Structure 1
């Protein structure tokens, strides 16, 4: 009887509380939501609902207009502003003109910056007011200023830099910084290309466009596939690229626990198990491996012009999937089961492992009191 007493004590204490790093199978099967006491279903992997057929589900609601709320006609103002840099070249085809003593009939006057008063000072022409003028109008001004010294003068004015008409591209980009807008009417994807492209996969990136007090966001893949999202940019716009990679978390008796990022739509449950290093042979219960998920609820698929429109994710319901790795058929199902953002993998301990932990706890000796310091009084 004395030999059985420690075993009985362990059994009684383990019924109350036992050392473990996660819930037991009975805890999982009795899980309820905190506020509604609604029971969370525990399903077999074979009973997982299928994703919408033949069409990819959207990660945004149909009512979400994304970047389209900031649509504009684009930047096309060619007028010169303070701080603009211009390059001026003049020509004279006359025999008795400005360049009659030279071999070349062309002279590059150089580059000039529009000062704070809206003027530039050029050789042969002098100080000219150019603020709000177009390059073509300035060419006429230069020709008029050269008529006394040139027989048949012509001028070409090229805008080299317009710092006041630029946009800023920051975040997960290879070459963040400011970039000028031109008469080409650059769009969001043009700015991203000028900045060297994103530093992460487009499927894991989102775009935020800030214009004054307005702000709008959209997944980069949506901007790339939907022309209405690739809006024209205006001076002062800020384009922010954010990394928005989905991830899953692994807890319990895995060889490697933690958070793991993945590319959306390209990671199966079997691959996720491999990312976590597989189960620990000396701890895990292979018949009780679980996946916790907020199961997406999609809107009904609709048809537009005879083509299916991808349904949107409109809600989520919690669900728990049990995977019995001792059943070989589950390995086939795991190859088809796609991981989703926020999924949690949990590998529970085998019953004997938790019992051994408890036995170890009660076998530890009681710590003795420290020896008194020299000279200390009772």
Structure 2
């Protein structure tokens, strides 16, 4: 009877405080929602929603204007300023004019930069003050300066660069930097292209436009699909591209634990299970593998009335636990259909024998004894 006493004591301890690196399989069945204190049901994978409809990781409210709140007519101020680069082309349609001895009636004078004094020096017409002038006004002055050497002169002045009227692109792009606004009137997608494109996919990238004290954001996928989001840029606009890739976390008796990013709507539970390396053969309980999720709840009624009640949430979440029994072959097929969502947690519990072995190892250790006295220390 005395030989059985230590084992009974171990069994009692293992039932209430046995060592483990996470919750036991039984602990999931007593889990409660910390907000409502209601019991969280543990649902078999066969009864779980394989692909929730109408929910995306970057879902936005039907009343959210996104970038369209900063829409404008684009940069239309073409007045010349210091540092601007212009290109000048002159034409002469007369028979006895400036180009009478040449095959072409057109001459490209080249590109010129407005200097710190606000002037440019042009062939045939000399030094011209152009600060705050329009290209059309400079064209008229060039034509006036060519009279006498050209019969019917014409001039075309094109603004090539306006460094003082630029925008910046930062964040998750391949070539962040400052770029000039041109007569083409760049838009958000033009800016992202100039920066080399977003490093992450459209479904994972979020675009924020900062204009003075104003700020607006929208998923890149929305900017691509909705032309109203692809707004024109103004001088000193700042674009920030953020990688908002969904991810899941795996811990417990997996060969590889940690956080893993994935592309929204593309990853199945089987693929996520493989990324985590599968279960540890010597630790895991193959019949108790769990997916923990804040399950989105989509309200069609709230979405339909969102226009009348701005701010009404039509996407809420509810905690859910799905149990996967890998010993049941049918679960392998279901894992290939079950789609992962952002924030999902995969947990593989230890086998009961593993936790028992840990506890048994603790009680198997001998109790430390007092050290023997050193020779000559006076001990008897």
Report the TM-score range of the alignment, normalised by the length of the smaller protein. Answer: 0.7 to 0.9
Alpha-carbon separation, structure 1, partners of 2:207 and 2:322: 34
Residue 309 of structure 2 is matched in structure 1 by: none
Whether contact under 8 Å (1:59, 1:313) holds in the other structure is: no
SS of match in other structure, 2:355: helix
- TM-score, L = length of structure 2: 0.86
1:8-55 deviation line (CA, Å, top 9, x unaligned):
2311222331110101122211112335322222211222246565x6
Cα separation, partners in 2 of 1:101 and 1:326, compared to 1, 3 Å: closer
Residue 41 of structure 1 is matched in structure 2 by: 41
- TM-score, L = length of structure 1: 0.87
Q: Quote the offset at 1:78 in angstroms.
A: 2.6
SS of match in other structure, 1:288: strand
Residue 307 of structure 1 is matched in structure 2 by: none
Q: Does 1:355 align with 2:360?
A: no
Matches within 5 A, 1:1-378: 1-49=1-49, 51=51, 59-92=59-92, 108-300=108-300, 314-366=315-367
Alpha-carbon separation, structure 1, partners of 2:33 and 2:161: 60
Cα separation, partners in 2 of 1:184 and 1:366, compared to 1, 3 Å: same
Alpha-carbon separation, structure 1, partners of 2:109 and 2:208: 42
Alpha-carbon separation, structure 2, partners of 1:106 and 1:46: 76
Whether contact under 8 Å (1:291, 1:345) holds in the other structure is: yes
Whether contact under 8 Å (2:49, 2:338) holds in the other structure is: no
SS of match in other structure, 1:163: coil
* Structure 2 unmatched ranges of 5 or more: 305-312
Alpha-carbon separation, structure 1, partners of 2:77 and 2:135: 11
